[in-house]
Amino acid sequence: MAHTKSAKKRIRQAKKAKLRNRHYKSMVKTSIKAVETAAKPDEMASAFQKAVSVIDKLVQKGILHRNSGANKKSRLAKLVNSKQA
C-alpha cells in the first residue's frame, strides 16, 4: 500500500479517472450499438453522426487513442454505406 501523501493522492485520482473513462467508453459502445441496430437507413445515418461526434470528443479528450477512434469510425462508415446501397 502507498505510504506517501502524493502516492495516496495519485490512487484517489486514478480511481476517479477510471470511473470517468468507463462512463465515456460505455457511451461509445451505446452509440455504436444504436448504429448497428437501426432499422431504417435514415435512422442509421443520424445515429452514425452522433456516434462519430462522441468518438471524436473522446479522442480529443485523450480517452481513446486517435487510431482506435479512426478504426471505430471507419468500421461504422463501412456498415452504414453497405446498408444504404
pLDDT of residue 85: 66
Cell output for 59: 479522442
pLDDT of residue 2: 78
pLDDT of residue 57: 96
Nearest to 59, CA basis, from 25, 23, 22: 25
pLDDT of residue 72: 97
Residue 4 region, left (φ>0) first, then alpha (ψ -120 to 50), else beta? beta
Tens digit of pLDDT at every position of the chain (85 positions): 778 999 999 999 999 999 999 999 999 999 999 999 998 989 999 999 999 999 999 999 999 999 999 999 999 999 999 987 6
> What predicted TM-score, i.e. pTM, was given to this entire model?
0.85
